[in-house]
Amino acid sequence: MASYINSAIDYSKSTLAFFAGLYNNAVTGKYHYDPESIPNLEGKVFVITGGLRGIGLHVTTFLTSKGAKVYSLSRNAAHSRAAIDSIHEQHPGAKIEYVSIDFNDLSTVGPAAKQLLAQEPEIHGVIHNAGIFPEKDTPDDVVFRVNVLGPHLLQKYLDNVLIATAKKHPNQTDQFRIVWVSSFVQFISLKHGGIDFDNLLKGTPLTSYERLAPMASYTHAKVANIYDSIQWIKHHPDSGVLSVSLHPGAVRTELNPVGSPATKLIEKVGHDPVYGAYTELYALLSSEITSAQNGAHIVPFGRMGTIRADIERAANGPEGERLWNYIEDQIKDF
């Protein structure tokens, strides 16, 4: 009975949070973080995946305009180099390095990370911004690999340098961060705790309903990003690095599949990608985020939000450790 009551309470809270989030993200256009307040970032080095499209392009532009050096990791070299040229036209001194990586091919992650680390003795922050929203025929394992396994593996390669940088600058407390880009879809996961472990471990489809399959696999991956943000802290105590997740906002980006119902809605009520950049910049740089908020979830467009209650409990408990171990096992050969 107690378990039933707790589930009912969680469901009620999730429903209220869903509609509150829908209003905040789709109806209002306010932003709560002003990028003009970004301090001088000379000497800072940031790593951004998918950094030269949509939200990531704006984040990279803001950071480099303040003097930071940005390593942009993505798989489309031609597009990335064209975007870099465009940024240089606006900011001739912008420091941007492109590194080729493809999260759907985990064998590319190690070489990309090693190329980056060979050039940089320090890293001050990482934004795991890249991801895919599946088409109806995109396999679940591809969605999970690109959105979860790839970012986790990359972070594993970057951990030592990021943590060493934080230890080297103890006067810059709370300024070193990992940002895991999740989504508002955490609130529509049909699984208690957000992760369908039974089917994940079996490698079977996350839903038997064909029309819901893309959303099910995407929701599953974005909840996993929240788990990762929380479990990273547990596996790296006293690191001097903050780990947070976020929902960037309902913005018009190339991530949304052409012609899907979600895309059609976002085209009508979604915001310009620059607003999503405000959310990510807040998570990466805001002084409002301290060690007391380690593991926080940031929402549009630059403010503290909430994680669905049952997902937050699961991510902090045995389920979180279970997912972490599963991911570690999947990437151990790379």
Residue 317, Cβ neighbours under 10 Å: how many?
12
Q: Is 227 exposed, middle or buried (CB count within 10 Å of its CB: 0-12, 13-18, 19+)?
A: buried
Whole-structure pTM value? 0.89
**Banded model confidence at residue 259, pLDDT cuts 50, 70, 90:** very low
DSSP string, 274-292: HHHHHHHHHHHH-TT--GG
| Residue 16: both structure tokens together | 């209220």
Q: Choose among 202, 192, 230, 229: nearest CA to 326.
A: 202
CA distance 289 to 292: 8
Q: What percentage of the chain exceeds 70 in pLDDT?
A: 81
Q: What is the pLDDT of residues 91-105, one digit of tens each?
A: 999 999 999 999 999
Alpha-helical regions (H) of 73-128: 77-90, 109-119
Phi-psi region of 46 (alpha: psi -120 to 50; beta: other; left: phi over 0): beta
- Residue 163: pLDDT above 70? yes
Name the 3-class secondary structure at 11.
helix
Q: Report the C-alpha gap between 298 and 31 in whole angstroms.
A: 13
What confidence tens digit (pLDDT) does each residue in 11-60 have? 555 566 656 655 554 444 567 787 788 899 999 999 999 878 889 999 99
* Mean pLDDT of the region 289-301: 95
Active site residues: 182, 218, 222
